[in-house]
Amino acid sequence: MNANQGAFTLGPLEAGPACCVPQPVVQVKNLSLQYDGKMALDNVTLDIYKGCITALIGPSGCGKTSFLSAINRLTDLIPGCGVSGQILVNNRDIHHASSQVQVLRRQIGMVFQKPTPFPLSIRRNIALPLNEHGITQKAEVAAVTEQVLRDVGLWDEVHDRLDVSALSLSGGQQQRLCIARALALKPEILLMDEPCSALDPIASGVVEDLISRLQGRYTIVIVTHNLAQARRIANYAAFFWVREHAGQLVEFGRCQHIFESPSHELTAAYVNGSRG
């Protein structure tokens, strides 16, 4: 099947333009987050740039995942979670009354630490979100399915068994399927919460490779504990640290800057491996 068929425009990834421009897509202003009154994230202000990969680094419990969940309002689902501050996506406040959370989440994809395929067939895993967003024509769904599976390099591995349970795939395959599932909705922004940490080194390498190939097409925010990985694939890095039991943003800048000449001594200590 021709990958360029229909209204779907995403071509083979290798040929895509890689453009990372310092133009904010997501603007986080004074974001604070608390769980049952306990501060988890304290007053974070940060811009995420279009088409770039932004890595969130820092020790465990410093609020990186909370920060990520706040962007697509997944925090709504956590009982007792309170969010204050402002998040603008394409200059629109995501908490504004008129903004629909389903539309927001379609615009912002998310990939979790552990692969989370639904207990359905591979095909249905991708078709379900499409159907829910009004794409129900069989031909179109099939085209998108093939496209995104090719994008994540899964097509050749699974095209002859699309109707088997997604749970039968290996961990790395499952994670790529989850990425494909997110891509199928054509999001602008992809949030990734340590997408490689639950995978073995080889699968992790494949996924990491995939992420770096996605750069430029999507605005990616990735949480990672693997500093080497952050250094390899990210354009920007944001360093979080726990102060007074709440996570704070210590430093943000280009990757090179953060890893080679950080302005803050905490950052320096962390990237050198002496703290954290």
Partner 1 sequence: MHIDHLLAGILRAGAAVAALVMLLILFFLLYESWPVLTELSVFRFVTDTSWHPLERAYNLMPMLSGTLLASMGALMLAVPLGMASALFIVFFAPTHLATLYGRLIELLAGIPSVVFGFWGLTTLVPLINEWHPPGASLLAGILVLTLMILPMITLTAYTALAAVPEELFRNAAALGLSRWGMISGVALPAARTGITAGIILAAARALGETMAVLMVAGNVVQYPESIFDPIRTLAANIALEMAYAMGDHRAVLFVSGLLLMLLVMALSAVAGLLEKHHHA
Partner 2 sequence: MPEMIWHHTLQKIRDCGVQGFVYLAVLLVSAVFVWMLADLVRGGFAHLSWEFMTESPRDAGRAGGIASILVSTVLILLVALVTAVPLAWATAVLLTEFVPVTSPLGKTVRFSLFVLAGVPSIVFGLFGNAFFSIYLGLGFSILSGGLTLACMLLPILTSTAEAGLRAVPETYRLSAAALGITRTAALIHLIFPAAAPALAAGLLIGIGRALAETAALLFTSGYVDRMPGSLFDSGRALALHIFDLSMNVPGGDMPAYASALVLVSLLLCINILAMKLAYSLQRRKILT
Roughly what angle, to the nearest 10 degrees, separates helices 138-151 and 171-184?
130
Q: Nearest distance from residue 176's CB to partner 2, in Å?
A: 14
49 binds partner 2 (CB under 8 A): no
Which residue lies nearer to partner 2 by CB, 147 or 248? 147
- Pick the piece of the chain touching partner 1 (CB under 8 A) from 4-12, 79-87, 98-106, 238-246: 98-106
Region from 94-102, 123-131, 167-175, 228-236 binding partner 1, contact rule CB under 8 A: 94-102
User: Of the listed pieces 95-103, 141-149, 228-236, 255-263, which binds partner 1 according to CB under 8 A?
Assistant: 95-103
Site string for partner 2, 99-128 (x = CB under 8 A): --xxxxxx--xx-x-x-x-xxx-------x
In the chain, the DSSP E strands lie at 24-35, 38-49, 53-57, 81-89, 92-93, 108-111, 189-193, 219-223, 236-243, 246-254
Edge-to-edge strands, sheet with 236-243: 92-93, 81-89, 24-35, 38-49, 246-254, 236-243, 53-57, 219-223, 189-193, 108-111
Of the pair 191, 238, the CB lying nearest partner 2 is at 191
Residue 247 binds which entry of partner 1, partner 2, none, CB below 5-8 Å type-dependent: none
Does the footprint of partner 1 cover residue 136 (CB under 8 A)?
no
Residue in the structure block whose two tokens are 């500093």: 227
Among 79, 97, 202, 244, binds partner 2 (CB under 8 A): 79
Residue 9 near partner 1 by CB under 8 A:
no
Radius of gyration of the chain (CA): 19
Residues 29, 259, 56: CA angle, nearest 5 degrees: 35
Q: Per CB under 8 A, does 260 bind partner 2?
A: no
φ, ψ for residue 27, nearest 5 deg: -120, 115
Nearest distance from C-beta of residue 175 to partner 2, angstroms: 12
Place of tokens 């922004």: 189
Q: How far, in Å, CA of 106 to CA of 133, rounded?
A: 8
Residues of the shown chain interacting with partner 1 in the complex, contacts defined by CB under 8 A: 100-102
